[in-house]
Amino acid sequence: MTSKRRMDKLDKTLIGSLLLAALFSSAVSDDWKASVTKNLDALVTSCVVVPCSFSHPGKALPSSKLRGIWHISNDKNQVIYNEDQTKILDPYKDRTKMLGQLGQNNCTLEIADVKDHDNGPFCFRIELVGEESQKFSFVQDCVDLKMQRIKPNLSRAAFEGKTFTVTCSVRHTCPSFRPKLSWSRGNADQIFEKHEEISPGIWVMESVLTFVPEEKDDHSQLNCTAVFHGGKTTTKTLHLYVKRKTFLIFFSLNCVTILYTPVQRSWPHTSSLPVGAANYKNIIIPIVVVWNRMSRFSRR
């Protein structure tokens, strides 16, 4: 009897634990969550793309059953995006659109023609069509925009006669319309471009120019111009200083000396002297020094 009571008590405890686990699992799985890049730089007149994704309990839902909304801060009535244009604030009409497919849990937003007052924070909200109780605003996961003047960056250092590579790069947040980079010199065969995302919502556009500097390029200017969506243009100038080739020149100076030893001759009698030498007792031949190639002849 005692054994049976113990078994009944154990069964009740086990059932209670299972029910508690089931309730806890249900509470956790019922959470809707969103992931939004919290801070992004934006360029006035260009566009900005805000990466956003969400998750929900249960099976996958089609886009037709979901309604995605973006609003300002925690005021759900300050709508900046809705598929119903009449519900959007006037300053944001025709400037916002959803790039992601809600059925794929993608709520990525694009804001075009960025204004200097588009600071946010902007928050995502999702609603289940036809179900009034299933509406979720993610006011803890919003994005703030910082207006920034973006200039391209250039690298430097060049050597005459050696291949020189200079990179012009610019960060941006509008992958839908990547900026265009151009150089003040070079042709298509000398230019290579690359576009990549370095972090969520942050992209880098690079243009690499390769050429061989000449002496005439010293103290010249090399310009890289970036044109952003919306028409904003900015230019960065690199002052090119070309280091000339160094030549080591060796000169070999060979000195050749021809030395004649003075010779003395004596004649015993004046009558025996050669003609014109009557007044001389000695004839001396001077020393002659000759410098070959690099010097003139000199006589002393």
pTM recorded for the entire structure: 0.62
Counting the structural domains of the chain, the total is 3
Give the integer Cα–Cα distance in Å for 190 and 187.
Answer: 5
Same domain (yes/no): 68, 137: yes
Same domain (yes/no): 238, 255: no
65 lies in some domain: yes
Measured between alpha carbons, how far is residue 209 from residues 24, 30, 141, 212, 247 in Å? 60, 54, 41, 10, 28
Same domain (yes/no): 55, 138: yes
14 lies in some domain: no
4 lies in some domain: no
Same domain (yes/no): 139, 220: no
**77-86, 112-121, 141-150: lowest mean pLDDT where?**
141-150
Same domain (yes/no): 158, 123: no
Asked whether the predicted pLDDT for residue 24 surpasses 90, the reply is no
Same domain (yes/no): 218, 262: no
Residue type at 196?
E
Average pLDDT of the residues in 195-200? 90
Q: What digits encode the pLDDT tens for the residues 45-78?
A: 899 999 999 998 888 889 889 999 999 988 889 9
20 lies in some domain: no
112 lies in some domain: yes
201 lies in some domain: yes
Same domain (yes/no): 256, 229: no
Average pLDDT of the residues in 215-242? 86
Q: What is the per-residue pLDDT for 8?
A: 53
Same domain (yes/no): 38, 128: yes
Same domain (yes/no): 209, 109: no
Average pLDDT of the residues in 111-128? 92
Same domain (yes/no): 38, 69: yes
CATH of the domain at 205: 2.60.40.10
Measured between alpha carbons, how far is residue 233 from residues 145, 152, 179, 181, 201 in Å? 21, 10, 9, 10, 21
Same domain (yes/no): 45, 130: yes
Q: Which residue segment(s) compose the domain that 167 sits in?
A: 153-243
Same domain (yes/no): 55, 114: yes
Q: What is the per-residue pLDDT for 29?
A: 36
Question: Which residues lie across from 153 on neighbouring strands?
Answer: 169
Q: What is the per-residue pLDDT for 155?
A: 58
